[in-house]
Structure 1
Amino acid sequence: MNSTFHLLLLVTLIHFIIGAKILGIFHGYSSSHQQLGNKILCELAKRGHEVTAIVQGKFAPKNAVTNFKPIVIEYGAFLRDQSSTLYKTPERGPIDQIRDLHAGGVFLTELFFNQTSVQNLLKSNQEFDMVILEQFVNEAFKGFCYYYKAHCVVVYTVGSSRSTNLQMGNPLNPSYMPDVLLNYSSKMNFVQRLFNSFAVFFATLSFYWTVLPKHNEILQKNFPGAPYITELYYETSLILLNSHVGTSSPVPLLPNMIEIGGFHLNSPKRLPKDLQTYLDEGKDGVIYFSMGSNLKGKDMEEGKRNAILKVFSKLKQRVLWKWENETVPDQPNNVKLGKWMPQQDILAHPNIKLFVTHGGLLSIIEAVYHGIPIVGIPIFGDQGMNVAIAKADGYGKVVEFSTLTEENFGNAVTEVLNNPK
């Protein structure tokens, strides 16, 4: 009897220490989205879970990770010429941007399911205990959770928003919760609150009347026999939010909505020799300038680029600029270019005095973590909201791209460099 009991106990313990089978889906075309996905999924694999990850080929981990199996998707031509289009986003009003986001989400979701690698996975006999998927206007992805009868975990690359609150039943109050596509912080005046309420109402109406039905068509096509999408949309076990009290406005959250902002941060490493020397010798300080991975400097309007260069040329500080070409026309002597920059390691350098940024959330989090003030030039997505929060919280200035001039950009840079606050 005792030997039988011990055998059963041993089998039970072995069962509990076997890792889960996890399917991770991070389909977004942005490098930041892929960076967040790799950080979570690779860590789960290192902890003994068996992870299958659908990722873009160029963002898959360069080195093999134990228990980590990538399934590669390629968007090809869709990604090549986005930069010049994105720079025109500020010319479009918020309502048009909401429409663009919804339409783009449907397009990207269809593109995803048309991938041969995705269809091969669905035709295989694999089983999964959990599905971890990125939230990016891709509601049809909830079909994976239904198909595999798995726990559904959502990773949202920004903080609490209209999208997360609707599916979780979390409070959505437009009087102090700005829509992610508006350039507002939670400290809105009456007119801003009124317009924000209208934008949230319009976006919610559009979502339920047009977006969800289109995603239901994609869902039924790829998961025949699945329930209507509204039955799956709310079946989310957990949402992980890439937000933090130090960088986002305070909002109420349900217990299964967890803020994990900053989890992508790494301990600083020594820089390549040329960058280390350049920063070490910048005794008057160094300005770091990057518009992120999607926006290319070469696609920036010439007049605005020249205005920025003229401001830099008048400064005693050195400038390190992420730029895709070897040279930039009329490049000042105090400006150094680089096609790729180890951003976290650069911001950790003690001589960095200012970060000129597009306002991507990862960049904002890294700036706050390293104590670097910013000048934000938002272009699209949540960038306007992020830099509005930075301005409201007192660690940044905002220069709207559509009205950027040598004078207003210079004033913002000068104030941040010289104001001890």
Structure 2
Amino acid sequence: MRLCLVTSFCFCTMACLSLQRRITLILIVICMILTVVLSSRHDNKQNGRRHNILVSMTDPTSMHSRTSQMAVVSKGLLERGHSITILVPSNKGIKGFEGAFDHAVVYDVAFEQSDVDELKAEMMRTALGVGVPDDESGWNPLRPLSIVNGYLKFFTTSCTGFFGNQSIVEQLQHSKFDLMIHIAMNPCDFLVAESLNIPYVTMTSSIRQTLFDEDTVSIPIPSSYVPFSLSKSFTDDMSFLQRTSNLLFRHVIGPCLKLYAHSMFRDIQMKYNISVDKAFDELTSGSELWLAHIDFSLDFPRPTGPGWIPVGGLLRYEPKPIPQDLENFVQGAGKHGVIIFSLGSMVTSLMDDELNELFAKVFSELPQRVLWRYVGPKPRNLGDNTRVMEWLPQNDLLGHPQTRLLIYHGGINGVYEALYHKVPMVLLPIFADQPAMGARVTKKGMGVVLDRAKLTHETIKNAIEEVINNPKYKTNVEHYGSIHHDTIASPLDTAVFWIEHVLKFGGDHLRLRGRDLNFFVLNSFDVLAFFIVICLVILYVNYLILRTCYRCCCGRGTRKPKSD
């Protein structure tokens, strides 16, 4: 900008001057241009605007939501002038990262994307309770455990694929990265950072992950009011039985899952000789900074730390105009408005013809028009007021003034979009963190939750009519949406600022020292033992004094006289 102003001034002034003055002015302008250029280079160097950053996405099962979060941050850093290299397995490739990197490193894995898709489909069938074998009655806890184990096998196979490719490992080692950024999902990323000897920043794609929660960075989190299990619809106001379940998950189930997963990656650590003197748990706690995808306009208040930065709502943005045919459909709804029905990027239908027909029947009886993201044969009960689409611009529709309601599975990105655009919700949680998101939406009065095990024509229709016709839901979502808007900087700007802060100064000044202490010292059991010993010594000394006094005072009077 300064260069343009100098040049414009030059051309405007030269026409009015003599030759000698023109030459003088040209020399002055050249000096000014050199000053501007050198100053710009100095500013760039001072601001650290050219760092070499590795974005590690070794999770071969990464969903569109997680990829989108990382791509947004990657693009934000790219626009700031940094060099971005992404590391991805061959089954995922660069899909979702278009325009968000300078270089891509793709390593081969011993499976195809279709294998991952089949595991995801099995997870969906388990969550929805469809496709259960005839000889399997009721709820079988072995099915979800088998799915978790399947995900861990994909993680370890992807990790082995990376470290088994020595040429790619050496290529990255020679690249001299300043920082690595990853999403806390595949523990392999910690081995990548350690093998390349680079600091790293961790992002969480949801409220928390079982393998990577606040314990990893030694943030004190009481189970009495901080819900842990994402599969439970607990709030910060739990009953006795809920607190018991929460405590068991925090101190028994969660640590067991973490220990099991870490043991699998410890084997890889030993096999490829990656800092074998360090415990794997030590590697996971070395992050310079944690960018947590939470915002307290939605989440419950709880303890945090200086290196745990909330950036909830990374994918929010102002709505863009929707296609004209869609605009005509939306405007045709008149005063009743439209309802958006989507189950996210992964779930394209309810995988049950009866449920699809049930929702179609309910929608046909509503005065509103319905936009339904749906893939498959059209339901027979589909009404004239309902339009099914294989893809719809969800964020742009949520920002449309005609939108009255979002029916959603409870994925964190879509919930933040609805919160940002102040649209009330009816949630149908299916798996993962969706029950936890539903608990937050209902506790704050921004919508209601449907129980997938109790779906009937009446429950679905009553929930929709309750949220649309009862003004309290709109009032609450406008209140918390305004809180979400009222920030110093956007979530993306916040994330980019703190990443650059770590690039400049490191993250040691943000790290809590609790991770450096053992369990007994961290909880001051040694101090407690010291005071107990002191008290016991004092009690014992008092006992000796009292016993001595008793003998001195009472012993003489009871002594028998000597006989002749």
User: If the length of structure 1 is used for normalisation, what is the TM-score?
Assistant: 0.89
Q: How does 1:235-250 map to 2 (within 5 A)?
A: 235-250=286-301
Over residues 271-296 of structure 1, what are the superposed CA-to-partner deviations in whole Å (9 max), with x where a residue is unaligned? 11221211122111111000011112
Displacement of 1:181 in angstroms is: 2.3
Aligned partner of 2:403 in structure 1 is 352
Over residues 204-252 of structure 1, what are the superposed CA-to-partner deviations in whole Å (9 max), with x where a residue is unaligned? 3313532211121123334544433122121111110111011111111
Aligned partner of 2:527 in structure 1 is none
Aligned partner of 2:132 in structure 1 is none
Q: Does 1:29 align with 2:62?
A: yes
User: What amino acid maps onto 1:89 in structure 2?
Assistant: A
What is the SS of the residue equivalent to 1:88? Answer: helix
Aligned partner of 1:131 in structure 2 is 180
Contact 2:55 2:181 in 1 (8 A): yes
Distance in 2 between the 1:219 and 1:90 partners? 37
> Structure 1 residues 394-403 or 112-121, which shifts more?
112-121
Displacement of 1:401 in angstroms is: 1.2
Aligned partner of 1:5 in structure 2 is none
Aligned partner of 2:84 in structure 1 is 51
User: If the length of structure 2 is used for normalisation, what is the TM-score?
Assistant: 0.67
Displacement of 1:12 in angstroms is: 8.5
Aligned partner of 1:76 in structure 2 is 113
Aligned partner of 1:414 in structure 2 is 465
- Among candidates 259, 283, 308, match of residue 310 of structure 2: 259
Aligned partner of 2:341 in structure 1 is 289
Distance in 1 between the 2:179 and 2:221 partners? 28
Q: Does 1:107 align with 2:156?
A: no
Name the CA shift for 1:358/1:130 in 2 (closer, same or farther; >3 Å): same
Aligned partner of 2:198 in structure 1 is 150
> Structure 1 residues 124-133 or 287-296, which shifts more?
124-133
Contact 1:239 1:256 in 2 (8 A): yes
Name the CA shift for 1:335/1:33 in 2 (closer, same or farther; >3 Å): same
- Among candidates 207, 216, 220, match of residue 167 of structure 1: 216
Question: Of the two, which has the highest radius of gyration?
Answer: 2
Report the structure, 1 or 2, having the larger helix content: 2
Name the CA shift for 1:123/1:98 in 2 (closer, same or farther; >3 Å): farther
What is the SS of the residue equivalent to 1:154? Answer: strand
Contact 1:83 1:295 in 2 (8 A): no
> Structure 1 residues 89-98 or 360-369, which shifts more?
89-98
Displacement of 1:191 in angstroms is: 1.7
Distance in 2 between the 1:396 and 1:240 partners? 27
Displacement of 1:203 in angstroms is: 2.3
Distance in 2 between the 1:337 and 1:95 partners? 35
Contact 2:74 2:84 in 1 (8 A): yes
What is the SS of the residue equivalent to 1:180? Answer: coil
What is the SS of the residue equivalent to 1:215? Answer: helix
Paired residues, what number? 409
- Segments of 5+ residues of structure 2 without an aligned counterpart are 1-38, 130-137, 473-564
Contact 2:409 2:427 in 1 (8 A): yes
Name the CA shift for 1:235/1:303 in 2 (closer, same or farther; >3 Å): same
- Among candidates 194, 199, 210, match of residue 260 of structure 2: 210
Q: Does 1:384 align with 2:435?
A: yes
Displacement of 1:60 in angstroms is: 3.4
Aligned partner of 1:4 in structure 2 is none
- Segments of 5+ residues of structure 1 without an aligned counterpart are 1-8
- Among candidates 209, 231, 237, match of residue 187 of structure 1: 237
Aligned partner of 2:517 in structure 1 is none
Q: Does 1:20 align with 2:42?
A: no
Contact 2:184 2:209 in 1 (8 A): no
What is the SS of the residue equivalent to 1:170? Answer: coil
Q: Does 1:42 align with 2:62?
A: no
Over residues 115-137 of structure 1, what are the superposed CA-to-partner deviations in whole Å (9 max), with x where a residue is unaligned? 4698343132322111111111x
Displacement of 1:405 in angstroms is: 1.4
Contact 2:318 2:399 in 1 (8 A): no
Name the CA shift for 1:288/1:222 in 2 (closer, same or farther; >3 Å): farther
Displacement of 1:35 in angstroms is: 0.4
Aligned partner of 1:321 in structure 2 is 372
Aligned partner of 2:553 in structure 1 is none
Distance in 1 between the 2:243 and 2:139 partners? 17
Aligned partner of 1:305 in structure 2 is 356
Contact 1:140 1:229 in 2 (8 A): no
Name the CA shift for 1:371/1:223 in 2 (closer, same or farther; >3 Å): farther
